[in-house]
Amino acid sequence: MDIKWIILDVDGVLTDGKLIYTSNGEEVKEFSAKDGLGLAAAHKAGLSLAIITARVSPMVERRAKELKFDALLMGHANKTDALRSLCERHHIELENIAYMGDDLNDLGALSLVGLPMAPQNAAPEVKRVAQFVSNYNGGSGAVRDAVEYILKSQNMWDSVVQDYTMEAHNHGQ
Annotated binding site for Mg(2+): which residue ranges? 9, 102
Q: Rounded to a whole number, what is the largest CA-CA distance in the chain? A: 52
Binding residues: 9, 11, 102
Binding residues for substrate: 11
The three-class DSSP label of residue 167 is: helix
Helix or strand run (H / E) with residue 39: helix 33-44
Parallel, antiparallel or unpaired: strands 20-21 and 5-8: unpaired
- At residue 102's C-alpha, the angle toward residues 124 and 160, to 5°, is 120
